[in-house]
Amino acid sequence: MTNNIDKQTFGQSGASYVTDGGTATGEFCALQVLEDATFSSVTWPELTGTFPTTSTIAAGTVIYGQITAFGVTTGKVLAYKQV
């Protein structure tokens, strides 16, 4: 039997692909930056501080956390669904 952690690890819970000017809402466990990206917003209740929306996040970066919404100003991001 596959547990939720295994499903998240292998992307079996699904994902959302978001590009320039796009947004996504849901329960995400990781954001993988496929092409250098800047974010317009990131809703991450457990984050202490403010997500750097003015910084470019390099392609290949994976951001782990319980993220519930985000917007991509430029770039390409794959958001892995939590469940």
The pLDDT, as a whole number, for residue 12 is 76
Instruction: Give the C-alpha separation, 79 to 72, whole Å.
Output: 11
Instruction: Give the C-alpha separation, 70 to 72, whole Å.
Output: 7
For 60-78, b where at least 16 C-beta lie within 10 A, e where not — what string? eeebeeebeebbbeebbbb
Residue pair 52/41 in contact by the 8 Å Cβ criterion: no
The pLDDT, as a whole number, for residue 10 is 63
Q: How far is CA 2 from CA 11, 13, 38, 59, in A?
A: 12, 11, 34, 30
Q: Which residue type is seen at 34? A: L
Q: From first to last of the 83 residues of the chain, give the pLDDT tens digit.
A: 566 666 556 667 899 999 999 999 999 999 999 999 999 999 999 999 999 999 999 999 999 999 999 999 999 999 999 98
The pLDDT, as a whole number, for residue 25 is 97
